[in-house]
């Protein structure tokens, strides 16, 4: 009983410090993710107030499901049909170059094929929210540049989800059962097409059945039921539960209730509790000494991700008629890593695929990329406006 009381106190401390530091980061025009991770660093490895535990880890892990569910709810391909094909090509180009860069660094530095694969997948996908928020801060909200970056970022999210599904099956079965890995990957592709066509219609009708129920919280309970069932089924067929959470959100986002009813309710419980708890706990388990010992590798990874995204997502835009300004702004906007990279790092760490030191390096790279991206975007934007 004493242990449970201690965990309750730790959760309370994590939430209040994460929210305070997240608010400070937001007011400084940075992502709240920075504040949440700093909260975990301060409460964990710095002051040793919060300690890693199985119970706390399990509670915090729900944040992954809520985060991927919300990403699925916000992924709407209909809003940028005009740019989706070009955006998909550039997103894939940036992802492939980033993966190769991460793999070569991971394999070359740590002499581990698996570490190389994990680092490649970690660098593969960028943070949609940070890039778009940075554009909005400089007055490029809903402009042509904004829509192009939205298309690339959304396609990048899907590529990242597919890569994550492939990674989780690889970590489960390894190279000895490569055909099973490939089969499960194509199963995920099949799920995507099923959800985007038949699944979304079924879920929309299912949600409509509960519209007239007097219990006003039913539209929180039912989406959660769908989320947990799809995540459970995904795990049972060998696909990570987080992929199921994303697909559940994808199935619901076409419902007329999604934006006005479901998203606000899920955001309240997600961003009010589980998601900040997840990111703060991600930092509680860091090895701070690794940041000092491996600063050169952190710098190398930062250069790799910057060049990969600027070349793959930005400069290759010249092929599709993008201006120099658009090429640079898009390329720099895609530098920021974020929630996806930490999620992959945690999954790999839990599976024993990477060491504590490598995980710490990943979190450090995420933080640096989040900080420098809006700064670089403002500098480039001002120089191009002269």
* Domains annotated on the chain, with CATH: 2-385 (1.20.1530.20)
Hunting for tokens 């970056």 — which residue is that? 149
Percent of the chain with pLDDT over 90: 42
Q: Per-residue pLDDT tens for 202-211?
A: 777 777 777 7
With tokens 């880890």, the residue in question is 57
| SS3 letters across 97-137 | HHHHHHHHHHHHHHCCHHHHHHHHHHHHCCCHHHHHHHHHH
DSSP helix/strand/coil, 253 = coil
Between the two ends of the chain, the Cα-to-Cα distance in Å is 65
At 211 the pLDDT is 72
Here the tokens at position 284 are 């509680």
∠ Cα 269 48 56 (to 5°): 35
Rounded Cα–Cα distance for residues 92 and 261 (Å): 33
Angle between helices 54-74 and 2-27 (to 10 degrees): 40
- Cα 168 to its chain centre, rounded Å, is 15
Give the DSSP H/E element, type plus range, for residue 46.
none
CA distance linking residue 96 with residue 12, whole number of Å? 41
Spell out the residues 6+ positions from residue 138 whose beta carbon is closer than 8 angstroms to its own.
377, 378, 381
Distance CA 248, CA 354 (A): 29
Spatial separation of the C-alpha atoms in residues 21 and 38, rounded to whole Å: 7
- Residue 1: its pLDDT value, please? 45
Which region, left, alpha or beta, applies to residue 139 given φ > 0 means left and ψ of -120 to 50 means alpha?
left
Instruction: Give residues with Cβ within 8 angstroms of 287, minimum separation 6.
Output: 45, 356, 357, 359, 360
- Residue closest to 156 by CA, chosen among 101, 239, 241, 94: 94
Angstrom CA distances, 58 to 61, 84, 274, 277, stand at 5, 37, 11, 11
Tell me what pLDDT residue 195 has: 67
The CA-based angle 233-275-136, given to 5 degrees, is 115
pTM of the model: 0.83
Residues with pLDDT less than 50, the chain: 1
Q: How far is CA 265 from CA 43, 125, 228, 230, in A?
A: 29, 27, 16, 19
3-state secondary structure 223-247: HHHHHHHHHHHHHHCCCCHHHHHHH
d(CA 337, CA 370): 7
C-beta separation of 289 from 364 below 8 A: no
């Amino acid at each position: 009983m004493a242990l449970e009381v201690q965990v309750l106190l730790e959760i309370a401390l994590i939430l209040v410090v994460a929210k305070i530091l997240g608010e400070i980061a937001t007011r400084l025009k940075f992502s709240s993710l920075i504040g949440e991770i700093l909260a975990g660093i301060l409460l964990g490895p710095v002051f040793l107030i919060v300690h890693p535990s199985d119970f706390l880890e399990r509670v915090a892990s729900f944040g992954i499901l809520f985060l991927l569910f919300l990403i699925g709810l916000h992924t709407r391909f209909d809003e940028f049909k005009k740019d989706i094909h070009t955006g998909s090509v550039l997103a894939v180009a940036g992802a492939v170059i980033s993966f190769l860069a991460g793999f070569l660094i991971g394999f070359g530095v740590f002499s581990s094929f698996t570490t190389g694969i994990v680092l490649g997948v970690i660098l593969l996908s960028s943070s949609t929210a940070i890039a778009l928020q940075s554009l909005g801060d400089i007055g490029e909200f809903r402009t042509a540049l904004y829509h192009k970056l939205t298309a690339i970022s959304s396609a990048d999210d899907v590529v990242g989800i597919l890569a994550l599904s492939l990674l989780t099956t690889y970590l489960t079965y390894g190279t000895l059962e490569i055909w099973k890995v490939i089969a499960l990957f194509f199963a995920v592709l099949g799920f995507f097409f099923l959800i985007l066509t038949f699944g979304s219609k079924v879920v929309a009708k299912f949600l409509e059945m509960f519209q007239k129920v007097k219990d006003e919280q039913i539209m929180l309970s039912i989406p959660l039921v769908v989320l947990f069932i799809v995540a459970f089924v995904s795990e049972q067929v060998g696909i990570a539960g987080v992929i199921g959470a994303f697909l559940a959100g994808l199935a619901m986002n076409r419902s007329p209730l999604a934006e006005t009813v479901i998203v606000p309710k899920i955001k309240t419980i997600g961003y009010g509790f589980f998601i900040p708890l997840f990111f703060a706990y991600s930092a509680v388990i860091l090895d701070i000494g690794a940041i000092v010992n491996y600063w050169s590798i952190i710098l190398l990874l930062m250069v790799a991700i910057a060049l990969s995204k600027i070349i793959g997502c930005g400069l290759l835009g010249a092929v599709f008629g993008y201006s120099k300004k658009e090429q640079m702004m898009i390329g720099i906007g895609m530098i920021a890593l974020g929630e996806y990279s930490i999620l992959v790092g945690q999954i790999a760490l839990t599976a024993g695929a990477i060491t504590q030191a490598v995980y710490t390096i990943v979190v450090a790279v995420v933080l640096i990329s989040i900080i420098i991206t809006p700064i670089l975007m403002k500098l480039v934007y001002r120089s191009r406006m002269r």
